[in-house]
Amino acid sequence: MTETITQSIQDYLKHIYELNENGGSASTNDIAARLNIAPASVTGMLQKLSNAKPPLVIYKKHQGVTLTKNGEKAALEVIRHHRLLESFLVNTLGYSWDEVHLEADKLEHVISEDFEARMAEALGHPTRDPHGELIPTADLTMPLDKSRPLASLRTDETATVKRVSDDDPALLRHLHEIGVIPEVKVTVKNYSEFDGNITLQVAGRKSNVVLGTVITNQVFIEK
Amino acid sequence: MTETITQSIQDYLKHIYELNENGGSASTNDIAARLNIAPASVTGMLQKLSNAKPPLVIYKKHQGVTLTKNGEKAALEVIRHHRLLESFLVNTLGYSWDEVHLEADKLEHVISEDFEARMAEALGHPTRDPHGELIPTADLTMPLDKSRPLASLRTDETATVKRVSDDDPALLRHLHEIGVIPEVKVTVKNYSEFDGNITLQVAGRKSNVVLGTVITNQVFIEK
DNA sequence: AAAGTATTTTAGTCTTGCCTAAATTTTTTG
DNA sequence: CAAAAAATTTAGGCAAGACTAAAATACTTT
Ligand SMILES: [Mn+2]
Ligand SMILES: [Mn+2]
Ligand SMILES: [Mn+2]
Ligand SMILES: [Mn+2]
């Protein structure tokens, strides 16, 4: 009697996955905040998911949750849908990178595996979405992410932008404007000890830009 | 306090629209059969839809339902989504015409108006879907359908196939095989009084085909 | 026109997924 | 380390949308 994975459950699993990526286990409150749902409701769902057969999360009272292998597969399935969809919308329907997130958030639960496969094929089996986020493989493995925040660079260091956080459309528009997009080379011309500001030279741009930590913590680079 | 039009409601309205197209009002049982839902459940929903503000259907006990203007607009919105999606899937992802229906049935409830507009643009504002069905216009008007069943043709009459019924994938594959697809010219070489069989010459095909009424009633032509 | 059949409606339940208010547990702080 | 604060869970409810069984209504047939 395998648990039916509803849209709602898919959303829980997806967000738990992302929270697990950072710290260890995902807390009730964090999940609630992300899903815009009352914490009490989250507790109820966590109990349900951990009692499912097979269990989708590991849950002990007051200690947050971790995904089981099954839960992780289900999460990666949704994340693969989401990121392929974002790529597809940009490529095929001319969406800009700040417009795709909401649309993909709805479609990700609804497309068939056939649709997924056809998108991947049409896009040439991409490894990253328009924001540079890694796309889980068809067999649901998440590639290793070697990037770190731009905020961790210091004066005279050079690196390549690999991905940017995609949940704030306004930030995305701004980054696009100043040319800070995946695969672009950047050099730190100055790092300020006091406020953490980074003066950045962006390849192909005349003038440098000064970025605060709110931004430099949402841009990820590799050297 | 306008009624929220859920996915479920959209499905009811869509099928009521299609039933209204044939006979007058849609019966509880017919709606139930189409939606694969118990008749008792349908009664409940019809009451709800007729009490909505504004009402989406006109309903009197034991007399079936008709859509109001508001209900019709909502239905046409979904049907436009559905048919544009079918076209889009065929054009962009290489689906064949017998594969698109199920996928479109899920996506139709989820895409944004922006998505709809972009598809229409990308497809060059088509007026018919892959099965030849008319696509409601952007301002939600259904173009007039002048076609009639192939079954109504008699010996020596010539006509153009305009559309075919799209709910049986096996029939669609068969029709494709024998070349009976929209915009193809056909001539009735013989009509049998007894069983209604039609011997059809299909433009560009060597040998004629004999079609029974099950098929000829699901193929629509214009002279 | 009465009886039988088919259709539709009513009545009563169930599941999912959410909510608020109140309790409980954990963490932080003075 | 005890009190205050924050986080989490329990308890009790609600709305949507489905189901089954039984009652009511409408249609057919003799
Ligand atoms: Mn996204
Ligand atoms: Mn993304
Ligand atoms: Mn269809
Ligand atoms: Mn169609």
Q: A32, A67, A102: which is the final residue of a domain? A: A67
Closest ligand to the CA of B167: 3
B100 located within any domain: no
Distance from CA of A180 to the nearest CA of B (A): 27
A218 located within any domain: yes
* A112 to B102: CB separation less than 8 angstroms, yes or no: yes
Task: Identify which of B92, B99, B110 has the shortest CB distance to residue A106.
Answer: B110
Average pLDDT for residues B47-61, to the nearest whole number? 96
Q: What CATH number corresponds to the domain at position A57?
A: 1.10.10.10
Q: A67, A87, A104: which is the final residue of a domain? A: A67
* Domain around B44: 7-67
Q: What is the pLDDT of residues A72-124, one digit of tens each?
A: 999 999 999 999 999 999 999 999 999 999 999 999 999 999 999 999 999 99
Chain B CB contacts of A102 below 8 Å: 112
| H or E element in which residue A65 lies | strand A65-67
pLDDT of residue A1: 58
* A103 to B122: CB separation less than 8 angstroms, yes or no: no
A128 located within any domain: no
B167/B221: higher pLDDT: B221
Percent helix, strand, coil in chain A, to 5, is: 45, 15, 40
Q: What CATH number corresponds to the domain at position A168?
A: 2.30.30.90
A42 CB and strand D closer than 7 A = yes
> CA B62, C1' D26: Å apart?
8
Nucleotides in chain C with any atom closer than 7 Å to protein CB: 7-12, 16-22, 25-27
B194 located within any domain: yes
Average pLDDT for residues B3-18, to the nearest whole number? 96
Return the half-sphere exposure (C-beta side, CA atoms, 13 A cut-off) of residue A107: 28
Chain B CB contacts of A107 below 8 Å: 107, 110-111
Tell me the three state secondary structure of residue A200: strand
A14 located within any domain: yes
Q: B51, B67, B83: which is the final residue of a domain? A: B67
Distance from CA of B73 to the nearest CA of A (A): 23
Cβ neighbours around B129 below 10 Å, total: 27
Cis ω for the linkage preceding A130 (within 30 of 0): no
Q: Domains in chain B: how many in total?
A: 2
B170 located within any domain: yes
Q: A177 — phi, psi (to 5°)?
A: -60, -40
pLDDT of residue B1: 58
Which tokens hold the place of A69? 């292998």
A63 located within any domain: yes
A203 located within any domain: yes
Q: What is the pLDDT of residues A140-170, one digit of tens each?
A: 999 999 999 999 999 999 999 999 999 899 9
pTM of this prediction? 0.94
